[in-house]
């Protein structure tokens, strides 16, 4: 029974990786075909490109990958806080894809507001999940890499938020004046990196638990044979 649970959990993680790779391929294809400036143009603006449908595909795949990882964490009896944060990240990615941003120069609409604040919650949720997980897997040599990725993601998130704060207080800052596109892309890439490391930790957890179940089964068989040999 234990082996079957680990096989199903591993299946969820593998499916999650497939979803993430598919989402990354769609996002890369969008960047190649859209021809927008990645240094200053925001990812959300790709929705208005001819191949803008790839943005929805990419975000949906990222959301699916996060949901599958969260389900795997529940099955593996891993940290509930991390599972909830990963699930929240996935749900926010779905909202970001379902509610497109407004075109540049247009007042903020309800769709644009949902898009913006869902992205903010997502950008906060994944680094928190990674930092919590890194504390729980201190023996894992990749825990340091996860902390670094989370730190970079949070630092870049601050850089993303600062222009909005400046505009809110009346200081006009254009995306052409700052590398807004670059910092946003760094947030996304580092958070996907955190998600990949999280998936890796789940695979290792499945492997270790499956090995423990096998050792337990072998020990039980050896114990059953011992009385028979003694008689």
Q: pLDDT tens digits for 114-124?
A: 999 999 999 99
Mean pLDDT calculated for residue range 136-158: 88
How many angstroms separate the CA atoms of 231 and 228, rounded? 5
- Average pLDDT across the chain, whole number: 87
When pLDDT is averaged across residues 77-106 and rounded to a whole number, the result is 92
| Chain centroid to CA 143 | 16
| pLDDT band, residue 221 (cuts 50/70/90) | low
| Model pLDDT for residues 186-211, shown as the tens digit of each residue | 999 999 999 999 999 888 877 766 66
47 Cβ neighbours under 8 A, 6+ residues apart = 55, 56, 100, 101
**How many CB atoms are located within 10 Å of the residue 213 CB?**
16
Q: Give the rounded percent of residues in the chain with a pLDDT score beyond 70.
A: 87
For 2-219, which CATH class? Answer: mainly alpha
Q: Give the per-residue pLDDT at 163.
A: 87
For the chain, percent of residues with pLDDT exceeding 90: 61
Higher pLDDT, 34 or 26: 26
Q: Tens digits of per-residue pLDDT, 40-63? A: 889 999 999 999 999 999 999 999
The domain segmentation of the chain, as residue ranges, is 2-219
Q: pLDDT at position 216, please?
A: 58
pLDDT at 4: 76
Task: State the helix-helix crossing angle for 143-168 and 110-136, rounded to 10 degrees.
Answer: 150
Axis-axis angle for helices 53-75, 2-34 (nearest 10): 160
Q: Which residue has the tokens 């891993």?
A: 78
The burial class, CB within 10 Å (0-12 / 13-18 / 19+), for 36 is: middle
| pLDDT bucket at 2, cuts 50 / 70 / 90 | low
Mark out the alpha helices in the chain (DSSP H runs).
Answer: 2-34, 53-75, 80-98, 110-136, 143-168, 180-230
Question: Of 23-37, 145-159, 194-208, which gets the smallest average pLDDT?
Answer: 194-208
Cβ partners under 8 Å of residue 104, min gap 6: 45
Q: Across residues 66-86, what is the average pLDDT?
A: 92
Half-sphere exposure of 25 (CA within 13 A, CB side): 7
Distance CA(125)–CA(63), nearest Å, equals 13
pLDDT confidence band for 7 (50 / 70 / 90)? confident
């Amino acid at each position: 029974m234990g082996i079957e649970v680990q096989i199903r959990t591993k299946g969820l993680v593998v499916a999650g990786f497939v979803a993430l790779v598919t989402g990354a391929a769609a996002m890369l294809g969008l960047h190649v075909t859209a021809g927008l400036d990645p240094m200053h143009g925001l990812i959300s603006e790709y929705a208005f490109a001819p191949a803008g449908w790839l943005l929805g595909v990419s975000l949906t795949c990222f959301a699916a990958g996060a949901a599958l990882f969260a389900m795997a964490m529940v099955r593996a009896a891993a940290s509930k806080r991390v599972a909830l944060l990963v699930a929240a990240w996935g749900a926010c990615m779905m909202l970001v894809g379902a509610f497109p941003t407004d075109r540049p120069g247009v007042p903020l609409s309800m769709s644009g507001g949902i898009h913006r604040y869902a992205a903010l919650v997502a950008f906060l949720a994944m680094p928190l999940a990674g930092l919590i997980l890194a504390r729980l897997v201190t023996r894992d040599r990749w825990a340091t890499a996860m902390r670094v990725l989370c730190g970079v993601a949070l630092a870049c998130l601050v850089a993303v938020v600062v222009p909005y704060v400046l505009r809110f207080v009346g200081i006009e800052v254009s995306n052409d004046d700052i590398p807004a596109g670059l910092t946003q892309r760094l947030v996304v890439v580092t958070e996907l990196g955190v998600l990949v490391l999280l998936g890796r930790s789940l695979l290792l957890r499945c492997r270790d638990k499956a090995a423990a179940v096998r050792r337990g089964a072998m020990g039980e068989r050896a114990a059953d044979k011992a009385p028979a040999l003694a008689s």
